[in-house]
Amino acid sequence: MSKRSENIISLQHINKSFPVEMGGTQQVLFDINISIKSGEFVAIMGPSGSGKSTCMNIIGALDTPTSGVYRLYDRDVTGLSSDELAIVRNEHIGFVFQQFNLLPKRSVLDNVMLPLMYRGLPMSERISRSRDMLRRVGLENFETYLPTQLSGGMKQRVAIARALAGQPKLILADEPTGALDSKMGNDILRFFQQLNRDMGITIVMITHEFDIAKYAHRLIHIRDGRINYDGPVPKNDDAL
């Protein structure tokens, strides 16, 4: 497991504003400062409209801040172009989304192989890596199935296998249990804990529910675009 010593994510004085229809801008993030070390399991939590998803988009190189500096693996990615950010995402980050984002007419194996295609890896390596990841998530016997033939929990495991196939050191999970019932959701969260513990993968999970955030080791709470708590997950949400 990776030692928790290296800062792989560093947000320094991040602000984010968006244009509004009537002219001007609306600020949604205010002076955000976050450092996340290799091997951490962090939940970023907040109510709807708090700015947590905008924060995740910046961490995931899906968006850029209005001001401030974002360093990923000690590289300043703040001013990179869209194409350069796409390369950063493909090389360093695995994504797991609430709605799975699987291609319905492609097999499970094809879905897992998809990000490896963009790296230009030979087909034999794509297949080998993807089958290995499907074994890790317990779906080695389902590689020829279509997503429509799977349960919600199995679909999310395929999405996790896809995220892992690129061998990322960082996984961003955006409301990963939002489309699942509580049992399946808890199974996925325990699997995240296992990935973090056994493989040393850094996990940043976005959620609005404290019961989900409790699976992480550290909680960052955002309200009205500002961090109002950053520390160990408390026993209850009264402190937030």
Q: Where are the domains of the chain?
A: 7-231
Helices and strands: H and E segment counts in the chain? 7, 10
Mean pLDDT of 105-123: 90
- How long, in residues, is the chain? 240
Q: How many CB atoms lie within 10 A of CB 118?
A: 13
Structure tokens at 234: 């408390």
Query: How many Cα neighbours within 13 Å face the side chain of 26?
Result: 11
Question: Which residue carries 């061998």 as its tokens?
Answer: 167
pTM, entire model? 0.89
The reported pLDDT for the residue numbered 5 is 54
For the chain, give the mean pLDDT.
92
The 3-state DSSP class for residue 154 equals helix
Correct CATH for 7-231 of 3.30.70.20, 3.90.650.10, 3.40.640.10, 3.40.50.300: 3.40.50.300
Q: What percent of the chain has pLDDT over 90?
A: 75
Q: Rounded CA gap, 6 and 27, in Å?
A: 31
Burial status of residue 41 (CB atoms within 10 A of its CB: 0-12, 13-18, 19 or more): buried
Q: Rounded CA gap, 202 and 222, in Å?
A: 20
pLDDT of residue 104 exceeding 60, the answer is yes
Q: Rounded CA gap, 47 and 225, in Å?
A: 10
pLDDT of residue 4 exceeding 80, the answer is no
Mean pLDDT of 114-140: 90
The reported pLDDT for the residue numbered 2 is 41
Mean pLDDT of 187-196: 92
Contact between 137 and 160 under an 8 Å Cβ cutoff? The reply is yes
pLDDT of residue 47 exceeding 50, the answer is yes
Q: Rounded CA gap, 240 and 230, in Å?
A: 10
The pair phi, psi for residue 56, each rounded to 5°, is -65, -40
pLDDT of residue 3 exceeding 80, the answer is no
Mean pLDDT of 76-90: 92
> Would you give the DSSP letter of residue 147?
G
pLDDT of residue 1 exceeding 80, the answer is no
Q: Rounded CA gap, 180 and 99, in Å?
A: 9
Q: Rounded CA gap, 71 and 13, in Å?
A: 12
Quick one: how far is CA 198 from the chain centroid? 18
pLDDT of residue 222 exceeding 80, the answer is yes
Mean pLDDT of 179-189: 89
> DSSP letters along 7-49, please?
EEEEEEEEEEEEE-TTSSEEEEEEEEEEEEETT-EEEEE--TT
Quick one: how far is CA 223 from the chain centroid? 20
